[in-house]
Amino acid sequence: MRLPESRVVLTGASGGIGLALAEALCAGGAQLLAVSRQGQALDELCLRYPEQVRRVEADLTTVGGRLAVVDAARAMGGLNLLINAAGINRFALLEQLDDGEIAEMLELNVIATLQLTRALLPLLRQPRRALVVNVGSTYGSIGYPGYAAYCASKFALRGFSEALRRELADTAVGVLYVAPRATRTAMNSSEAVALNEALKVSMDSPASVAAEVIAAVVANRSELYLGWPEKFFVRLNSMLPGLVDRALRKQLPLIRHFSQTSKHKESQP
């Protein structure tokens, strides 16, 4: 897919990876419908690319928010690229999360993504070639302690991507699943960053992630896993999960320490 010929709907456009994707898409010549709950965060982008960027301020977990995106896509003349980058994360043990926090994560990361994709499929079927990109995570393939609810949402998104790709195999709509590793964004709490540093986990910049995603879009790929040794551990976990179990068990004391620090801070007046 060539970016100058792309009409893109990008959700989560004001977030770390989302904003980096918006920048890269515009720089490549794409027409962009940027979707965010915080529209003002896109002011600078709109000023720099006034002929290319339209924005919609919408809550994708509501019917009204999703309909606003569909209407704006129609007004743009349709779309041939949907990038589902909206999502939230929370570093905490499962028993530290309340019902609302679990529901919020699943609602945005999974349910709203499926519902918006379904609503936009009639428009995506119209061009000669179209692509759905779902931004998942390495944690969509490796269940990691401290991220049980987040992993559940990203495992679901990976399964959705695989099934939708097969469901649309005889159409002109492709599906690309993207799995970044840890990325330096505001979505990470200070405790999550501290844990990554203690475990010597590498963190990518949003710009480097966006560059790889754009390259995968242009190359019409169906999967993209980022980072080494993360790609190796994804493969190892699928073949020898017991080895990964034992490796992660050794990390549990650190994970519990930083998750408890995070919950203690939240409970302070």
Cα(109)–Cα(64) distance, rounded to whole angstroms? Answer: 18
Closest CA to 120 of 76, 162, 89: 76
State yes or no: is 150 an active-site residue: yes
Helix spans in 80-135 (H): 99-106, 113-124
46 membership: H or E segment, kind and range:
helix 43-48
Report which DSSP code applies to 232: H
Cα(50)–Cα(226) distance, rounded to whole angstroms? Answer: 32
- Burial class from Cβ neighbours inside 10 Å (0-12, 13-18, 19+) for residue 119 reads middle
- Encoded tokens for 24: 């890269």
Closest CA to 187 of 59, 34, 37, 15: 15
Determine the longest span between alpha carbons in the chain, in angstroms. Answer: 57
**Dihedral in degrees, nearest 10, Cα atoms 73, 127, 85, 74:** 10
**Strand pairing partners for 179?**
225
Catalytic residue among 139, 147, 150, 225: 150
Q: 16-27 vs 206-218: helix axis angle to the nearest 10?
A: 50
Catalytic center residues: 150
